[in-house]
Amino acid sequence: MAIVGKHIIAEFYGVEPEKISFVDTVRDTMERVAEESGLTTIRGFFHQFQPQGVTGIILLSESHLSIHTWPEHSLVNLDIFTCGEPEKADRAFELFVKYLEPKSYRHYVLDRG
C-alpha cells in the first residue's frame, strides 16, 4: 500500500495564554506556519470562544491544519495532515513549536495511505 500523506497529532502543554486566547493571534500563527512550511492555503475558518479560546482550521490543497486552544489550561491540540512531501508536515510541526513555545508536548506521527 502506498503512503499518500503524513498526519501529526499533537498536544502542547504550558503555552502562554496570550498566544492562544484570541482568534487574531491564533490565525496569524497558523497562517505564518502554513506559508513558511510551503503549504498552499485554500481557506481558513476560526471561532472565538468566550471569554477565551479558539478553534480553527486552515484547509490546504495538501489537506489541513487544525487547532483547538484552552488558554485557561495553557493547552493546545493540533492536527497537521499533509499529502505529498512529508517534510512539509514536519516543518509545520517545528514551526508550531517555535511560535507557540510549549513547555512540553507529545505528538504522534502517522503515515496515511
| The one catalytic residue among 64, 68, 104, 107 | 68
7 noted as active-site residue: no
| The one catalytic residue among 63, 66, 104, 107 | 63
For 86, other C-beta atoms within 10 Å of its C-beta total 16
68 noted as active-site residue: yes
Segment 27-34 long-range contacts (CB within 8 Å, at least 24 positions apart): 27/56, 29/96, 29/99, 29/100, 30/56, 30/58, 30/65, 30/67, 31/58, 32/95, 32/99, 33/65, 33/92, 33/95, 33/96, 33/99, 34/58, 34/60, 34/65, 34/92
- Cell numbers at 49, concatenated: 470562544
| The one catalytic residue among 7, 61, 74, 83 | 83
83 noted as active-site residue: yes
The residues carrying an active-site annotation are 63, 68, 83
